[in-house]
């Protein structure tokens, strides 16, 4: 059903139906500023991303895309405490996550020469083989923070708007 048709039916049904539908959470918004960079052979993927985040004072950012290759992939796999290191030649098939000077959260998926894909938390030690072509997005009106969530005890994302006066200082 199209959105327009749904809204029309909702209007016809009256306020009783409108009150029973679940509300979509309100989330702060921001314009998007983008950066494109290329990492070179031997660069540490995570360290370079965090250094870029620090150098550009990015309070709220995201990886928009990344393609390239690695000769070492160091990941924290699901439900594991420590790192797992893979050596060989790997294609970066996905790099996603949030970036912030207050804490970043990045996941990496790589494929080997047979197409077998591995993925997990991006850790230090992922070394670029030939290139890593990265496009990052910054959300200058927002700030990402990491705060302990009582449900599991992990540091989880909290999104806050940045006052305009603070944003103006960065420029």
Map out the domains of the chain as residue ranges: 33-170
**pLDDT per residue over 88-134, tens digit each?**
999 999 999 999 999 999 999 999 999 999 999 999 999 999 999 99
DSSP helix, strand, coil percent of the chain (3-state; round to 5): 20, 45, 35
Separation between Cα atoms, residue 147 and residue 145, nearest integer Å:
6
Task: Decide which of 3.30.1330.80, 3.40.50.2300, 2.40.50.180, 3.40.50.720 is the CATH code for 33-170.
Answer: 3.30.1330.80
> pTM of the full predicted structure?
0.82
User: What are the residues whose beta carbons fall under 8 Å from the beta carbon of 86, sequence distance 6 or more?
Assistant: 72, 73, 74, 75, 110, 112, 118
**pLDDT per residue over 31-71, tens digit each?**
999 999 999 999 999 999 999 999 999 999 999 999 999 99
């Amino acid at each position: 059903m199209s959105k327009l048709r749904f809204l029309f039916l909702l209007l016809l049904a009256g306020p009783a139906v409108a009150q029973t539908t679940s509300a979509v959470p309100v989330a702060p918004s921001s314009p998007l500023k983008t950066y494109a960079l290329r990492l070179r052979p031997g660069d540490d993927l995570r360290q370079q991303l965090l250094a870029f985040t620090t150098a550009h004072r990015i309070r709220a950012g995201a990886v928009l895309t990344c393609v390239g290759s690695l000769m070492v992939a160091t990941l924290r796999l699901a439900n594991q405490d420590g790192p797992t290191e893979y050596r060989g030649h790997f294609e970066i098939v996905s790099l996603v996550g949030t970036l912030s000077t207050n804490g970043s959260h990045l996941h990496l998926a790589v494929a080997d020469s047979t197409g077998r894909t591995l993925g997990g938390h991006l850790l230090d030690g992922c070394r670029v083989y030939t290139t890593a072509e990265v496009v990052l997005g910054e959300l200058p009106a927002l700030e990402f923070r990491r705060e302990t969530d009582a449900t599991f005890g992990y540091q989880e994302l909290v999104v806050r708007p940045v006052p305009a006066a603070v944003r103006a200082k960065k420029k």
